[in-house]
Amino acid sequence: MPKIPAICRTCGLMFPSGLAYMGPGMIVSRSFSGCPRCRSDAPILSGYTTLISGLVAFIISDEIEFSEKQRMIDAATSISSGKVRPAEAIASIDGDGAKVLREWTSLGISFASLLVAVASLLLAYSTSGGNQPLDSIAMEKFDETLATIQQPDSRIAPAYSQRPVAMGSKVKPQLKQGQAPTTSAKPPNENRKARRARMKKERTNKGK
């Protein structure tokens, strides 16, 4: 059962909240889930199901050309990689694509990059003629990607930042004078990596 995501306003972490998605029309309001990284109360996304339905509607719409859908996904990719500013990218496309993109970026750059992954998959799936309901595929894919995606670093990325976040950038450990790099200086992303591996393992153990 997919979980509704929460975004921590303190450290920027996105994670599956304790709340399971119960079906279309489910309304979440003013609910919080404890952030596994910094222990703050993180708001559970209230418009999540609407957001997913909006995405699915956009992808399957007959009135929107394939090229337009692809253009929106490309623009979202450029935003999440930090190549362009959200406002510029939104201005470069029009119609429903711009509306969708505006919704995504209002939730933060990292969140937008997560949706890009989901949108690309949905577009490929719908063109290939698959007949599973896209809503449930979107939820599952979102859930899956959330567990593996590069998360903003609590020390550099404030929540809801519109500033491009360098994905996958490696921060060098800061060493004091005379300190050998091999002693206590652990790479800062080691914990994150370990956590990701663990979550992946847990997911597999749950049994598919």
What is the binding site for Zn ion (CB under 5 A)? Answer: 8, 10-11, 13, 35, 37-38, 40
Written as six digits, the tokens of 206 are 């749950």
Nearer to Zn ion, 13 or 19 (CB): 13
Task: List the Cα angle 132/133/135 in 5-degree steps.
Answer: 140
What's phi and psi for 168, nearest 5 deg? 75, 15
Q: How far is CA 40 from CA 33, 109, 168, in A?
A: 8, 21, 25
Nearer to Zn ion, 39 or 163 (CB): 39
Nearer to Zn ion, 4 or 52 (CB): 4
Enter the DSSP assignment of 35: -
Written as six digits, the tokens of 43 are 């708001």
- Shortest Å, Cβ 43 to Zn ion: 11
Q: How many helices (H) and strands (E) does the chain have?
A: 7, 4
- Shortest Å, Cβ 184 to Zn ion: 25
- Shortest Å, Cβ 84 to Zn ion: 28
Nearer to Zn ion, 85 or 195 (CB): 195
Cα 162 from Cα 81, distance rounded (Å): 12
- Shortest Å, Cβ 123 to Zn ion: 32
